[in-house]
Amino acid sequence: MNQRERLEQAFAAAGPIVGRADADGVTVEVSVGGRLRSVRLTPQALRYGAAQLAQTVVATAARATAKANQRAEQVYAQALGGKRVLDGLGLSYDPALAADEDFDRDWTRG
Amino acid sequence: MTQPSQRRTTERLLADAEERLRVTEELPERLASVRGWAYNGDDTVHVTVDVHGALTQLRLDEAALALGAEALGAQIVELSHRAQQAAMGEGVNILGDALGDAAALDMMRSAGLALDPEPEVIPYTPGVDPNAGGWHVIDR
């Protein structure tokens, strides 16, 4: 099996890769690379005002993207034996963003 | 008078090759900096994305909140997809500088981007005026 077939098989086995994150009534789902699949807002999310909402959507999308890219990285690594390829594709991510803890949010809003 | 030669000199070929290499080296950075944007009819939602479609900027007017939670979410997604089309068009232009126009056109086709339509060509038929009926002679 060549590299391309190994990759195709690995991604087929992994199923669709979706990164998902939520904060303050905003739930964002993205594909690898960050293309938006859905943005769901609760009526509460709209109460903080437009500027705050826009900021939350962008930050949540960034966390969802980091998760999707991290998952893609795992699938690539499995198929290709640990080689880092995402940086070359412009799909690098901040591991801190991909973490599930919402460490930077609770103290900002109390 | 002699016509200037259409063939490129060795110096010219080398310079062209070097230019291609330089452009190829810069490719990842240039692609990473590409942004596409789209906004809705009222200009209350303004979305900016990179070539991958990742949201880089979102501007919402207070009036956008009147759309309601569900419609606003859907609008952001839809605009981001339109913005990504624009970003990809720009990305293909940049790739074309490095890989040549033929490769860029192939990529546009595979990415489902619209190509510039071919200009309309009116076939030439001897004795037939293609503009017949399209103009009038003022006969005095």
ipTM: 0.81
From the list A33, A42, A45, which residue is nearest B54 (CB)?
Answer: A33
pLDDT given for residue A109 in this prediction: 43
- Residue B15: pLDDT above 50? yes
pLDDT given for residue A56 in this prediction: 97
pLDDT tens readout for residues A46-63: 999 999 999 999 999 999
pTM: 0.75
From A68, A10, A14, A11, select the one nearest A36 (Cα to Cα): A68
Grade residue B63 by pLDDT with cuts at 50, 70 and 90: very high
Instruction: With beta carbons under 8 A apart, name residues in chain A contacting B74.
Output: 39
pLDDT tens readout for residues B86-139: 999 899 888 888 777 777 788 777 777 766 666 566 667 777 776 676 667 676
Instruction: With beta carbons under 8 A apart, name residues in chain A contacting B61.
Output: 50
From the list A38, A65, A88, which residue is nearest B77 (CB)?
Answer: A38
Instruction: With beta carbons under 8 A apart, name residues in chain B contacting A58.
Output: 55-58
Instruction: With beta carbons under 8 A apart, name residues in chain A contacting B31.
Output: 90
The answer to whether the Cβ–Cβ distance between B60 and A91 falls below 8 Å is no
From the list B53, B60, B70, which residue is nearest A36 (CB)?
Answer: B53
Grade residue A107 by pLDDT with cuts at 50, 70 and 90: very low
In this prediction, residues B53-80 reach a mean pLDDT of 96
Q: Is the dihedral of CA B69, B71, B74, B80 positive or negative?
A: negative
The answer to whether the Cβ–Cβ distance between B52 and A50 falls below 8 Å is no
Grade residue A90 by pLDDT with cuts at 50, 70 and 90: confident
Alpha-carbon span B47 to A27, nearest angstrom: 17
Average pLDDT, chain B: 84
pLDDT given for residue A94 in this prediction: 82
Alpha-carbon span A33 to A64, nearest angstrom: 10
In this prediction, residues A79-94 reach a mean pLDDT of 74
Provide the CB-side half-sphere exposure for B23 (13 A, CA). Answer: 14
The answer to whether the Cβ–Cβ distance between A34 and B54 falls below 8 Å is yes
The answer to whether the Cβ–Cβ distance between B77 and A46 falls below 8 Å is no
In this prediction, residues A33-38 reach a mean pLDDT of 96
The answer to whether the Cβ–Cβ distance between B77 and A57 falls below 8 Å is no
DSSP string, A30-79: E-TT-BEEEEEE-GGGGGG-HHHHHHHHHHHHHHHHHHHHHHHHHHHHHH
